[in-house]
Structure 1
């Protein structure tokens, strides 16, 4: 019979793809993690990981075990919630993956309110400019700007959001006026590093006709702070503007972009009540916060 604690170690290694990273999550030294993996492989009479210099990758047998281990993890979490005797409130840990724009300017307020109403809840936000692998359980759910085309995933459209050109009042006072999109060619543009744009929906500047980005970063937060420092002009989320009162929209009548946020979950999680309830609270909160911030901007 397989020990749940060994399955917990297996899940950590499958997600982290290394003994040391899994050890940090589990608060175990890598040698102990390795012994536990070996013990599980012996009990299962199967090789669960392919070892290499790059780390630990699941074998076919490991992939088959992964789904069962995740279901066991969900069952343990659900049992803990029921035993604690407060079925009306959420508890335990929920991890959300999101691009850093929504992670910085929307999710902190939304998740703080959810935690206020659910004191036993722990929320982790992974803010990274990339696509999250929910099959490996890098996160319990993810917010994306495109609907995924493949995978055993459930997809919920959260809301539309809007973007405009913006610059600081200081920058605009020190540089020639911007009366048309063509005038942008005489200004320092801020945007993404072209070859690190991980989703076509983020290729905003292609719609301006600007070909050269002078200040580029894969991080929305870095771009935003360049704007606040008066370094140039960029396309920004309307919901971020209230965080920097010195920023103003530029040519709002000539360029106004609309995109959508999607909440992505693994299909198996539809049977997990606590995640269903959290996802609904998150969706409601994001929609409310978008209305509030875009109206304020």
Structure 2
């Protein structure tokens, strides 16, 4: 028996959420109904699709095989919906963007608000996670990344470069010994990422500076900058964040200036989805403009 799309939609939700209750919340149906739909699908295919473990509902080998087909069916449905929506002058529905903490906190709020202003029927969700967003399981419709992925069925587009510098607060700099050279950092408290939670080599800034100890660490850029703003130490910060923290000062700019890039990563199957293409164009232009605006403000 061929699975119908409604059952496949329930199967995909459980595969992604690994929970009947979480899948139910996503689909807006009760968990018991989700369980019955999965049982019906398993019976129709004469194969178990999930096993229950401490981690939740885990795909069996049969479930993994069905997942591949389900994702292709979903891509086809999304492409059809996108083609129909593409004829409208404005965007509508829901779009979810995954992004690293710095981009999600300091760039996307302004950019997404502007896109929503131009598209009143559009709902945008920003997923800020200190890890790589799993596009294959549809955690998001697209993601902003620092490193361009080299594997998987994805579309990758460079958005823009951005700069980073060492920063400290006025309070900290006035109360501590001067920092005339990078070597002088050894006498100062460094703030940065939790070393074993750095999910992208491009974010491992301090190792390139020869810093081997991070006294105050967080997996969140916002927390790091809050600690620096309180006068707790020195950290590497995105130039575009500095207009939001007027008491922070760049230091050692002649010695330390890092450049990184943002990329937009999308499902390869969405390349003919006119709705998502239009949104991606607006998003990349908005991020590019916002980085330029904020970096100019940080330099003035």
8 Å CA contact retained: 1:98, 1:125: yes
8 Å CA contact retained: 2:165, 2:251: yes
Equivalent residue runs for 1:205-284 within 5 Å:
205-284=206-285
Cα distance per residue 1:21-50 (max 9 Å; x no partner): 212222333222211111222233333323
Equivalent residue runs for 1:7-46 within 5 Å:
7-46=8-47
Counterpart CA distance in 2 for 1:115 and 1:208 is 41
Specify the alignment match of 2:131 in structure 1: 130
Specify the alignment match of 1:90 in structure 2: 91
Change beyond 3 A, Cα 1:144–1:212:
same
Report the TM-score when normalising by structure 2.
0.92
Counterpart CA distance in 2 for 1:140 and 1:14 is 17
Specify the alignment match of 1:121 in structure 2: 122
Equivalent residue runs for 1:91-240 within 5 Å:
91-240=92-241
Change beyond 3 A, Cα 1:184–1:290:
same
Cα distance per residue 1:73-108 (max 9 Å; x no partner): 456556667878961211111111111110000111
Change beyond 3 A, Cα 1:118–1:86:
farther
Equivalent residue runs for 1:32-71 within 5 Å:
32-70=33-71
Counterpart CA distance in 2 for 1:273 and 1:66 is 25
Change beyond 3 A, Cα 1:217–1:84:
closer
Deviation at 1:58, TM superposition (A): 2.8
Report the TM-score when normalising by structure 1.
0.93
Change beyond 3 A, Cα 1:85–1:296:
closer
Deviates more, 1:244-253 or 1:52-61: 52-61
Change beyond 3 A, Cα 1:248–1:283:
same
Runs of 5+ in structure 2 lacking a partner? none
Cα distance per residue 1:184-210 (max 9 Å; x no partner): 111111001111111111110112222
Counterpart CA distance in 2 for 1:93 and 1:74 is 16
Counterpart CA distance in 2 for 1:76 and 1:155 is 22
RMSD: 2.0
8 Å CA contact retained: 1:106, 1:289: yes
Which SS does the other structure have where 2:233 is aligned? coil
Aligned length: 297
Counterpart CA distance in 1 for 2:26 and 2:99 is 20
8 Å CA contact retained: 1:81, 1:92: no
Counterpart CA distance in 2 for 1:274 and 1:48 is 33
Counterpart CA distance in 1 for 2:87 and 2:118 is 12
Cα distance per residue 1:187-245 (max 9 Å; x no partner): 11100111111111111011222211110111111101101111110000001111111
8 Å CA contact retained: 2:86, 2:274: no
Which SS does the other structure have where 1:235 is aligned? strand
Deviation at 1:182, TM superposition (A): 1.0
8 Å CA contact retained: 2:91, 2:121: yes
Counterpart CA distance in 2 for 1:80 and 1:109 is 27
Counterpart CA distance in 2 for 1:149 and 1:82 is 28
